[in-house]
Amino acid sequence: MRRAIPFLLPALVFAGEVREEILVVVNNHLITRRTFQQAVEQENAALYRQFSGKQLDEKLQDAREKTLQGLVDSFILEDKALDLGIVVPEDYLRNYVEDIKKQNNFASDADFERALRASAGVGLPEFLLRQKQEITRQEVLRREVYSRVAIEDQELRAYYEDHKDEYRQPSRFRIRELVIAKGATPEEREAAARNLAAIRTAIKEGKPFEELVQSQSTSPSRNTGGDLGWMSKGLLRPAIEQAALALKPNQVSEPIETDKDLYLVQLIAVEEDLAKPFTEVKAQILAKLQEPKAQNAIQNYLNGLRIRANIRYMVPKEKLSKG
């Protein structure tokens, strides 16, 4: 059984100095005035971005109450996660960030953090903490509630067929590049041309393009056999992209010349603007369809957790909700 923290005053006191006013104690967790106010401000900012007019006014009326309840419930679910042994691995969070960076073309963590501060007013560490908490809460609900809400496979497939446009992936392609630096002098340019001619002869004789890249290319991509990974259209120089997309898989282009280099590219694969397979999005559809059906079950489940939790309002709940 969890031991409640004893409090005589609704504040944290250090060396006789009051630092934080405590509003609510949830098991061994504290909700301070500053924490609550920050959460309210963030929720209001989100509402202003999503709504306007009468709809915004209606949302703002109970925003404080919902925000307060959300903070309480988050701690209750966090403690339940401990009981269930739920842990979010750090590498899962790292991969989550890397996926976001790729999808939004952020070159570094610093670029991603700048975008976070501009859009949400938080840094990367706080963002990771929030995501970890949200993933943990959702995993509790998945195990304890969603897993008990049955959805027939036929219903999932029907939704997929009716909403295929929601699951389309943009066209993308993958190539290998072999780059020969032209050099600065006429002699260097002639040597580069001879080298390129010899490489093309080796390709015609059946030499694997990847091996030629590793031995002859002057680009850093030689370390991956010239493989540039999956790319969306518009990221490469037009001449190179056009040449690549005119190929069939495994074909090698004619030489492409730029100001400084000579290129050969090989098309590895191309994926057109098609819907993702049902098997790939089945879990996503399941979660989407389970959510509305599970709302009553979630509230009943949370009510049960709230009854068993040790929740103490140091300031009346009604006063906090009204502001």
Is this prediction's pTM over 0.75? no
Pairing status of strand 172-181 against strand 227-232: antiparallel
How far is the C-alpha of 9 from the C-alpha of 25, rounded, in Å?
12
CB atoms within 10 A of CB 236: 19
Write out the DSSP string of 291-314.
HHHHHHHHHHHHHHHHHHS-EEES
How far is the C-alpha of 37 from the C-alpha of 21, rounded, in Å?
12
Write out the DSSP string of 70-109.
HHHHHHHHHHHHHHHT----HHHHHHHHHHHHHHTT--SH
pLDDT above 90 coverage of the chain, percent: 45
User: DSSP label at 7?
Assistant: -
Closest residue by Cα to residue 265 from 238, 233, 243: 243
Check if the beta carbon of residue 42 is closer than 8 Å to that of residue 70: no
Check if the beta carbon of residue 162 is closer than 8 Å to that of residue 228: no
Q: How confident is the model at residue 300 (pLDDT cuts 50, 70, 90)?
A: very high
Pairing status of strand 227-232 against strand 17-26: unpaired
Higher pLDDT, 9 or 61: 61
What is the model's pLDDT at position 236?
83
Check if the beta carbon of residue 301 is closer than 8 Å to that of residue 144: yes
Q: Which residues pair with 177 in a beta bridge?
A: 265
Flag whether pLDDT at 73 surpasses 80: yes
* Domain 171-272 CATH class label: alpha beta
Q: Which residues contact 266 (CB under 8 A, 6 or more apart)?
A: 175, 176, 177, 178, 209, 226, 247, 250, 251, 252, 253
> What number is the average pLDDT over the span 130-142?
90
The type of residue at 99 is D
Q: Which residues contact 73 (CB under 8 A, 6 or more apart)?
A: 302, 305, 306
Lowest-confidence segment of 253-267, 269-283, 292-306 by average pLDDT: 269-283
> What number is the average pLDDT over the span 225-233?
87
What is the model's pLDDT at position 3?
35
Closest residue by Cα to residue 160 from 238, 276, 42, 244: 276
What is the model's pLDDT at position 295?
87
Task: Tell me the pLDDT tens digit for each residue of 171-205.
Answer: 789 999 999 999 889 999 999 999 999 999 999 99
Flag whether pLDDT at 293 surpasses 50: yes
Burial class (CB within 10 angstroms; exposed 0-12, middle 13-18, buried 19+) of 77: buried
- Which sequence spans correspond to the domains of the chain? 11-85+145-152+278-322, 171-272
Q: How confident is the model at residue 4 (pLDDT cuts 50, 70, 90)?
A: very low
Write out the DSSP string of 189-203.
HHHHHHHHHHHHHHH
Flag whether pLDDT at 214 surpasses 90: yes
Flag whether pLDDT at 2 surpasses 80: no
Check if the beta carbon of residue 61 is closer than 8 Å to that of residue 80: no
φ/ψ of residue 190, rounded to 5: -65, -40
